[in-house]
Structure 1
Amino acid sequence: MRDLVERIESATPGTRDRGIDGLRALAILGVVLGHWLVTALVADSGTVHGASPLRAFPQLAPVSWLFQTLAVFFLVGGIVAGRGRSAREPYGVWLRGRMARLSRPVVTVVLVWAVVAGATLASGVGLDTVRTLAKLVWSPLWFLAVLAVLTAATPLAARLAPAWPVAIVALVDLVRYGLGGPAWLGWVNVVAGWLVPYCVGLSWARGLPGRRTGWALLLGGAAVTAGLVLWAGYPAAMVGVPGAAVSNLDPPTLAAVTFGLAQCGASRLLLDPLRRALRRPAAWAAVAVANLSAITIFLWHQTAMIAVTALGLLADRPLPGLHTAPDSAAWVLARLAWLPVFGAALALCCTAFPSGSAARPSRQDAP
C-alpha cells in the first residue's frame, strides 16, 4: 500500500488541481451512499420491487440534501472541460477522446446486464422483478447521456451565462405547474437544468471566483430553494420518491437547479480546504483512485447492491435492511450496517471492470 501511495504521488504533476479531484470524489461518495440509503429492494411473494424509506419517513427528506450531489458532478465536468481542451487541439479530436472515455464503460455494463437479464428471465424469474433490477442499473445512464450532450456543446456553452438556462427552467416550471402545460415539456429541463452548473464550471475554468461568490451562491441558492419548498409547493426531497406526484429530479425542477447553485457555492468554499488536505500523499492516493474509477463506480454501484441483495435471498428468511420494507427506524439502522458489505461488493466490481491505472493520475480531464 505504501508503494502504491508513493507511485501515485510521484506520478502526479505539480500543476494538477487536487481540489477539483476532491470535489469529484465527494460527489461520487454522495451519489453512491444516497442510492444505497434511499433505494430498497423488497422481496415479497417471490417478486422483488423497489421502495424508498422517504415514503414512510418524509421527515428524512433533508438527508437527501447531503447525498444528491449531481450538480457537483456537472460543475466539475464544466471546469475540467474548460481547462482540458487546448486552443490548438481540434474540437473533433478533443471530443472523440472524451466520448471514448465515457462510452467504453457504458458498453460493458449494458452488455453484461443484457446477458444477466436474459439469463434471469430464462431461469424463471418474473418479468416485473427483472424490470425493477434492470431499471436500477440502466436508469443512471441518463446522467452520462446528458454529460455527453453538454460536453459536445462545450464551445457554445462557454459563451452562455448560467442565468439563461435558469430562466428556461423557471419558464418550463411555470408553464407545467402554473398554467397546466403538458408534462412532456419538463424534459426540456433535463438539459437546461444541468446546463446551469456546467456553465458555472466553464466560467470558473477561466478563473475561480472569490469566497464571497461562494457564500453568495450557497446562501442565495439555499434561501431560494427553501422558499420554493415552503411556499411554491416543490417537494422537500431532492431525490425521487416512488409514488410522489412531483419529483425534483425526474425531470429537474427549478428547486433542483437553485439547490445545485447552492452546492456550487459550497464547492467553492470547500475547494481550498480540500487542496490543503490532499497534499497528504495517503489522502491524495485515495482520491486519485476514486477519480480514475469514477465512471466504473457510478455504473456498477447499483449492481453491487443488487448482488448483495440476491445473495441474501439464499438465507431462509428476508434479511432486515436488505429485503424488508423500509418503513421503520430498524430498517434504517439495518441498512447502515449493510453499507460496508455493499462497499466490498463494489470494490470487486471495480476490480473486475477497471477504468484506469492508479499509478498514472496525470490528466485533469478524466470524466
Structure 2
Amino acid sequence: MSPNFKKVVERSRSAFNSGRTLSLEFRKQQMKQLLKLYEENQQDFIEALKSDVRKPKMEAFVFEVNAVKSDVTYILRRLDKWAAPDQVPSQIPLDKSLILKEPYGVALVIGAWNFPLQLTMVPVHGALAAGNTVIIKPSETAPATASLIAKLVPHYLDKECYQVVCGGVSETTALLQQRFDYIFYTGSTHVGRIVREASNKYLTPTTLEMGGKSPCYIDNTINMDLVARRILWGKMTNLGQICVAPDYLLCSKAVQGVFIAKAREVLLEWYGKEPQKSPDLSRIVTDRHVDRLVSYLECGKAVIGGRFEKADRWVEPTVLVNVTADSKVMTEEIFGPILPIINVENHVEAIEFIKRRFASRSLHYVGYYG
C-alpha cells in the first residue's frame, strides 16, 4: 500500500514552519549525523551496491561512499560562509543592501539508480544545508540501496524534517501530485519531462539533471597509450552507466586504427581474456536495459567485444565501427559499455558534427592545446 503522501508532505511542511531548520547549529548537527551514518554503515552500503548492480568494491567506495562523505565534509567547512549575508552595492545614497540566504521550504529529491547513494544523497546534503526539510525518493531500480537509505535515515536524522519514501512509477506519480517548494530530479529525459509537467502546476522551481550524448574527439597528436586508458576508464567505470562517460568517439581513420589496437591491449590487461569473470566490472541494471544495449550492437561492426548474456545482465566492453550518424546508437544515449566511432578529418569537422545534433551532456577533447 502506498503511503499517504499528503500527510508526508504536511508533516514536512509543519516541521519547516516550526523554524528549527533555520538554525545553523541544527543544520550542522544534522550534517554531522549524516557523516556518522555513512561511516558506521559503509560496508552495508558496499554490499547493497553489489546486490543492485554488482558494483565492484573499489568503485562503490570511491564513487559512492567516499563521495558522500567528502561532500558532507566540504559543506561543513564552508557552511558558515555560505549562510552569511552578502553585502552588495546599492544605488540609493546612504543605504546598505544585503542578500539574505533563505531556504525554499519543502524539497523533494528523486534519486537515480546508476549511483544510487551518491546521486540521491548529494542533493539532499545541499537542501539540508540550506535549511529545507527534505523528502527523499531513492530509485526503485536499485532496491537494496533504496531500502538501506530508508532504514538508516530515520535512525540518524530528524524524523520530521527528513523523510524517505520508496516505491515505483505509481508511487512517484502520486508523490508528484503534491505541492513542493523545490524539486531536484536526476534521471532520464523521459521522466524529467513528467517531473517538469508536474512542477508546472504549482510553478515549483526544479532542477533536472538528465542524460544525453557525450562526444569525445581525439586529434592526431596524442599519446595513444595514455589516451586509450583514460577513455576506456571513463567508459567502463560502472560498465558505462554514467551520464558523462564518453558516449562516442570522433577521430580520423588513422587514429581509429591506433586506438582500436591499443584498446585491445588495455582491456586485456585490465579485465583478462574473459572480462565477464572480472571482479572489476559491474553489471547492467535491468533486463530491459540489456535488451536496449544489445539492439545497438546491430548498428555497426564490433571490432572489440560484442558478446552479451542476458541472464547475467552482461554486455561486453565493445567498440563499434562503420556506424552511421542516424543509427539508434548515435541518436540515443548509450549508457553502457558500447563505444561507437565516427570518422572525421579534423577538429573542424568534429565541431560541425556535434553542433548538428542535440546539445551534449558533456564534451571530451583529447589532444594538445596551444
Shorter-chain TM-score above 0.5: no
Greater relative contact order (CA < 8 Å, ≥ 6 in sequence)? 1
Superposition TM-score tier, normalisation by shorter sequence: under 0.3
Higher strand share: 2
Higher helix share: 1
With structure 1 as the length reference, what TM-score do the two structures score? 0.23
